[in-house]
Structure 1
Amino acid sequence: MTGQTTYADWIAVDWGTTHLRAWAMVGGQPKAEATSADGMGTLDRDGFEPALLRLIEPWLGGTKIRVVACGMVGARQGWVEAPYVSVPAQPSQLGPVPAPCQDPRLDVLVVPGLSQSEPADVMRGEETQIAGFLAQMPDFDGVLCLPGTHAKWARISAEEVVSFQTCMTGEMFQLLADQSVLRHSVSGKDMDAEAFAEAVDDTISKPERLAQRLFSLRAQNVLHGLGAAQARGRLSGYLIGAELAATKPYWLGQDVAIAGSPALAAAYEAALKQQGVVPRVFDAGPLTRAGLARVYAALTENA
């Protein structure tokens, strides 16, 4: 964070479980950025406002400024609970909820998440990424995949999220790679692309064998010296393959886009191409900020 005073006419905030990120905004353009480790998981309800002030104090003047925030700040354990909005819903028109502020300079609004009754599902934070994606692709009619800790597949039409599905693929990978018996076999960061591709096809064709295939990574390492890069590639391929098997109604025969970090988006792109789907790929980095700008613009237009 910089200590230099920066002019802003509003502030965008992405508040997750582990990190807080803010941008000083003029219109739709960021003029400064600041981050801290004051995620939702480290704070009680009274700690949110002080954490935000520590981060954005150099951007504040003597008058009230609007802050538009998304993410876990709106969870039940957050600053204020922003109730989920049921799909179908337009991500840029969700009606942010005001958070209680002691500092008279702050006007904090928190964007709600989205929910789906059947099958039961929720998202919080990704709806703002989708709003940012639609700012670039307003005519998109298809399925957007947001890979990550909890990967989201959202069916979009007429700028609305019609339905969505969540898979815990990223969290499962981290748990298995870091805390299970497989940690001894998949150490390091290298990942064999050929092993990944073979594992994707294997799991899509035989998803019922996933649990057995996972332990076989350990056995093959012990008995046959399977290398860590190959084992890590297979672990990723097995899990992403299982996700594609579960989400087949979403991507089969659809216009598919992927928005994620470059490395993760590339893995999903490769897996989908093996199934005959050629997705469009976007960097998810700027999407949350762009989505918050869209929400702010909608609030300004409706004022």
Structure 2
Amino acid sequence: MQPDWIAVDWGTTRLRVWAMSGAQPVAARASDKGMGGLTPEGFEPALLELIADWLPDRGQMPVIACGMVGARTGWAEAEYRATPCTPLDPHRATRPPVRDARLDPRILPGLSQAEPADVMRGEETQIAGFLAAQPDFDGTLCLPGTHCKWVAIRAGRVERFQTFMTGELFSLISRQSVLRLTIGDAATDDEAFAAAASRAMADPNAAHAGLFALRAGALLHDLGAEKAAGALSGLLIGAELGAARDFWHDRTTIVIGAPALARLYETPLRAAGADAAHLDGGELVLAGLTAARTALQEKP
């Protein structure tokens, strides 16, 4: 099997690759060799472990990569393009040094914002994948995860964006603070989540004021771990939604992510009267990488 090119999504913890025939994936592989566990010299061997049998005996194989592979501690640092701008410009991709002459890799640039200072790597490719299917979209994209990105889109361009560390905060608080004694690895209770999210959206002080009450509630009133987990998630996400109101108020908002996580954002948004829906982002990175490959085949 000889692909036309190879698409690569290289994050902090995972590496995903697709053998591509034009715009169609014909094979996919993955490993746990993300950027966070590699030195710059380790990227090429980690990639070859997955794709060596896809490479030609002669000539070069185009490889289009996005994500943390282009971070300062990645394979090679890719630039940040200043917003407002289109989500992708593959002609400004970085070409890391390679030892295997069959590889022709390009790392797509990320995006930056001068004020307030912000950056993204990888999400811009998801945004490009979304816009490839909906080029006339005018509204807001919300991309939740460890670090959630709120992105204002107009006329095919990223106008502005803001990052919230909500996912990382939940992990730190639930696993390393005193609340670990109450929550542990419990699943979130939907009713407790909804009530806490509504409270935090209405009151910007609710999140800070309500955190220790979860521990006290467990000690005094036998508050269960699932209800505490739901309340913690609701307080943090509700506070984020309140702070991001300028992005979603009176604007169509699409939450892009795994369905369970996306619904944690969509449900309180809709309860607050927002025009919100969610979309599974699983295929959008590949759609964005494909759009980059198509642009590279055209003249700059």
**Structure 1 and Structure 2 fold alike (TM over 0.5):** yes
CA contact (8 A) 1:269 1:278 kept: no
Question: What do residues 87-126 of structure 1 show as CA deviations (whole Å, max 9, x unaligned)?
Answer: 0111232521111111110000000110000011000111
- Paired with 1:181 and 1:205, the residues of 2 have a C-alpha distance of 26
| Root mean square deviation, CA, Å | 1.1
1:221-300 map, 5 Å: 221-300=218-297
Q: 2:6 aligns with which of 11, 17, 23?
A: 11
CA-CA distance at 1:192 after TM superposition: 1.6
Quick check: 210-219 or 139-148, which moved more?
A: 210-219
Scaled by the length of structure 1, the TM-score of the pair is: 0.96
Give 3-state SS (helix, strand or coil) of 2:137's partner: coil
Question: What do residues 240-286 of structure 1 show as CA deviations (whole Å, max 9, x unaligned)?
Answer: 00101110100000011110011000111101011101312110111
Letter in 1 for 2:35: M
- Paired with 2:270 and 2:128, the residues of 1 have a C-alpha distance of 26
Which residue number corresponds to residue 83 of structure 2? 87
Q: 1:41 aligns with which of 30, 36, 40?
A: 36
CA contact (8 A) 2:9 2:67 kept: yes
Q: 1:143 aligns with which of 125, 131, 140?
A: 140
Letter in 1 for 2:181: H
Matched, 1:51 2:46: yes
Matched, 1:169 2:148: no
Give 3-state SS (helix, strand or coil) of 1:97's partner: coil
Give 3-state SS (helix, strand or coil) of 1:166's partner: strand
Question: What do residues 48-68 of structure 1 show as CA deviations (whole Å, max 9, x unaligned)?
Answer: 111111111121112201000
User: How many percent identity over aligned positions?
Assistant: 53
Give 3-state SS (helix, strand or coil) of 2:174's partner: helix
- Paired with 1:140 and 1:85, the residues of 2 have a C-alpha distance of 21
Which residue number corresponds to residue 16 of structure 2? 21
Quick check: 220-229 or 90-99, which moved more?
A: 90-99
Scaled by the length of structure 2, the TM-score of the pair is: 0.97
CA contact (8 A) 1:152 1:167 kept: yes
Question: What do residues 213-255 of structure 1 show as CA deviations (whole Å, max 9, x unaligned)?
Answer: 0111011011100111111111110000010111010000001
CA contact (8 A) 1:92 1:298 kept: no
Quick check: 186-195 or 42-51, which moved more?
A: 186-195
Give 3-state SS (helix, strand or coil) of 2:16's partner: strand
Which residue number corresponds to residue 3 of structure 1? none
CA-CA distance at 1:153 after TM superposition: 0.4
